[in-house]
Chain A
Amino acid sequence: MKSESGRLRGAKRELWLAWYVTVVFYGMYSVVFFGLSRTQPPGRPWLDPDQTVAWFADRHWGLLIGFGVIFVLGGFSAVALALITHSIRRMSVSPVFAYSYLILYAIAAIPGFMYICVAMTAGVMRPNRAPIAAQWLYDLGFLSFVGTMGVFLIGSLIWMIAVLIDDNRVFPKWFGYLNLVNALTEVVIAPSWIFQRGVLAYNGAIGFWVNVPVFGLYTGVFIYLLRDFIQREDFGTGPLPAPADVWRRARPAVEAVGA
């Protein structure tokens, strides 16, 4: 029979596994979307059918290999989402926050994450397809991707409120405010449904280029803070030890090693 400390060590190991999967997922996501498939930055919304066919031809193998990787490993997103949900459940707030977040992102993963992969793969699958059909797939892919930004908006607001009213100091309060910054940049995507050109189009200076650094910063920060949360997690129900306490506890050991 496992001792209490052994059980806690095992549970923490499981959280660390989930955290590394989260890092791998976001790393893979960036490499596939920005590097392999080059679907980010997004293509121009105003391409005509022939230009769309050329766009697909230019990325033929990148789209097939990149989205092949996503089809195999995209399920990792569930682990990342579960880790975030677990962190919200550890807060002193109602479980409604964690469940809302979980359901919101679980549903959004299909149109916001898988549709673009299916549409773009279908676009390159038959190079001889009628250009108008290729253009249709191109629009479907990007619009489904952009169209789920409202989910990030509401998700960020849910996380923000949970962090700001939490008494268990799972995340620092400034992360709550950073959620608000992220939510406000998601609002800016809404005009991309109206504009095909210009700064507010989904590939525009405001619609894309201002938002990406904010989202990149936000993602990097929450991955770091999840790591910090796991370090402090005691599997209780009260406040977590402050980061400084964990650091102070670890310091004598570090000094002993140094001596």
Chain B
Amino acid sequence: MSMIEETTGRAEAADDEVERFPGDPDMWLFVVVESLVFTSYFCIYLYSRTQHERAFLEAQSALTMSLGIVDTIVLLTSSWTIACCVQHTNARRYETARWFALATVGLGAVFFVLKVAEWAHLIRDGHTFTSSDFMQHFFFLTSIHAIHLIIGFVVLGVLVRQLSGPHLRAHRTIETCSTYWHTVDLFWVVIFALLYIVR
């Protein structure tokens, strides 16, 4: 076997490996780099917290834990619905998959409305972006997550469109959109743990 054929064979074997990867492998670069960026935000938050522990605890008491829990349940449920959407797509039950995708959009919208309501409530009580170091981190982390969520709505729009037309329905694109949504959910779980639970 010539060297070129051998190389081609290896490349094909590698392609097969890539095929088993959920979604577009290129999207995983986004997941990895964005996770690193968020990890650095979390490290900076934790470092700031160690510097002003008492002040952070006092400011943290303004948050409503139950609202954070509801937010988390809503978003985790949306992760479940999008996973169901992918499963039904793979089983070629496109109409059911589309309903699960729309349910994900609805849950994402509920999360967003709850988040805006929480911000409004905090601002009414005098806790703003500039009122304390903790609130600076709180508003920053929740806002940057909300921006990811808004991009997620665009991604879900692509997913719903894919499921709507019989000639579209690219399974890989649907898995890629789902990967993005799971990443946004994962970031929220860590944000919830750091901002609401860690005392």
Contact = CB atoms under 8 A, between A and B. Distances in A.
B34 interface: yes
A180 B29 CA distance: 11
A194 interface: yes
Contacts of B24: 173
A181 B33 contact: yes
B37 A181 contact: yes
The number of chain A residues touching the other chain, given as a range, is 20 to 34
Contacts of B25: 174
Contacts of A198: 133, 136
Contact of B147 (A176, A184, A248): A184
A67 B109 CA distance: 49
Contacts of B18: none
Interface string A167-196: 000001110111011001101100100110
How would you classify the secondary structure of chain B's contact residues: helix, strand, loop or mixed? helix
A244 B44 contact: no
A200 B136 contact: yes
Interface string B118-162: 000000000001100100110010001001100100000000000
Given A198-B133, A200-B136, A210 B144 contact: no
A178 B136 contact: no
Given A178-B33, A191-B140, A198-B133, A206 B41 contact: yes
A177 B136 contact: no
Contacts of A244: 11
A14 interface: no
A199 interface: yes
A191 B137 CA distance: 11
Contacts of A217: 33
B140 A181 contact: no
B91 interface: no
B190 interface: no
A228 to B, nearest CB: 15
Nearest to B48: A199
The number of chain B residues touching the other chain, given as a range, is 20 to 34
A195 B136 contact: yes
Given A177-B27, A210-B41, A251 B4 contact: yes
A4 interface: no
B129 A191 contact: yes
Given A177-B27, A194-B129, A210-B40, A188 B144 contact: yes
B37 A185 contact: yes
Contacts of B129: 191, 194
Interface in A229-256: 244, 248, 251-252, 255
B140 A178 contact: no
Nearest to A255: B3
B21 interface: no
B58 interface: no
Contacts of A188: 140, 144
A177 B144 contact: no
B30 A177 contact: yes
Nearest to B129: A194
A176 B144 CA distance: 20
Contacts of B16: none
12 contacts: A172-B26, A177-B26, A177-B29, A178-B30, A181-B37, A198-B133, A206-B40, A206-B140, A210-B40, A217-B33, A248-B4, A248-B7
Give the 5 A-B residue pairs with the shortest CB-CB distance, closest first: A177-B30, A174-B26, A173-B26, A174-B29, A205-B44
Interface of A: 172-174, 176-178, 180-181, 184-185, 187-188, 191, 194-195, 198-200, 205-206, 210, 214, 217, 244, 248, 251-252, 255
Interface of B: 3-4, 7-8, 11, 24-27, 29-30, 33-34, 37, 40-41, 44, 48, 129-130, 133, 136-137, 140, 144, 147-148, 151
Given A173-B24, A181-B33, A210-B40, 11 more contacts: A174-B25, A177-B27, A187-B147, A188-B140, A191-B140, A199-B48, A206-B41, A214-B33, A214-B37, A252-B4, A255-B3
